[in-house]
Amino acid sequence: MRRSEDREKVDTKRVFTFLLLIVALAGAGFTAAARKEIEIKGRQLISQKPPFTFTLPSEFRLVHSFSHENPQENSLTRVYFLIREKNKQVEEMLILQIGDRTNPQAEPIRAPALKPYTEKRMYLKDKKKKGALEVDYLLQLMAWNPDASSLQPIRKKGMNIPSRWAMQGQFVFNYLGDHVVLFRYSKDVNTYGVKVSENGENWNKESISGNEQRVYEAFRKDFLEMVNSIQIKNH
């Protein structure tokens, strides 16, 4: 498979850096500071800071979290890893990153722009108003790379991450300049019960059809339901 252009990338902004330097931080384990602001109740994810909720597509398990201070950017980054697995093999994964402004006098935190890994693949990019706030979202095909440094905390928990194509949905929003929320959810395309192509070209806009189209549409439906379920409070 041609996957180099689809590898998961990290967006960086001057004020808020989404840190995925897991090689250095993988041993940090669960931190109370990172965990106390997030709660999982069944399929509901509830955040206290900033205050928002949304409905997950499945019941996920929190397997790793950490927080990291960025003093030069006057921010704190909290990262949460959630998975759904079967027989120790990951079928769905979710990475939630929240940036908190630590100095009220500093510049407001800015959200990273969502961009497709490649324009030729089938993807959906749009935004949705949530009261006075706006949520940007992106849906696309990506490749799971089990050797990626960002995924080592999951593997260290004894979970197998297959090297496969996955559908990915991302959304991001800025909460009043004090917080930025970036959510990335992905699902193995082989978990839909149909045989799909391992050739990335068959997922291109001009050629997608058959089971690849069915998987794309099924994921699109579930992801948009998740985006529609977002409730952001106190704004």
pLDDT in tens, 53-63: 999 999 999 99
pLDDT score of 14: 34
pLDDT of residue 70: 87
Residue 9 has pLDDT above 60, yes or no: no
Cα(185)–Cα(174) distance, rounded to whole angstroms? 18
Q: What is the DSSP string of 119-154?
A: TTB--EEEEEEETTEEEEEEEEEEE--TT-GGGHHH
Pairwise CA distance, residues 101 & 70, whole Å: 10
Residue whose pair of structure tokens reads 């960086």 in the numeric block: 12
Q: Find the domain containing 199 and state its range.
A: 4-232
**Burial of residue 157 (number of CB atoms within 10 Å: 0-12, 13-18, 19+):** middle
With a pLDDT cut of 90, the percent of the chain lying above it is 74
CB 140 within 8 A of CB 120: no
The confidence score (pLDDT) of residue 34 equals: 54
Instruction: Give the whole-angstrom CA distance, residue 111 versus residue 134.
Output: 11
CATH number reported for the structural domain that contains residue 204 in this entry: 3.40.1000
One-letter amino acid of 89 = Q
Q: Going along 24-87, which residue ranges are E strands?
A: 38-41, 44-47, 52-55, 61-70, 75-86
| Distance of alpha carbon 158 from alpha carbon 177, whole angstroms | 38
pLDDT tens per residue, range 180-218: 999 999 999 999 999 999 999 999 999 999 999 999 999
Query: What is the count of structural domains for the chain?
Result: 1
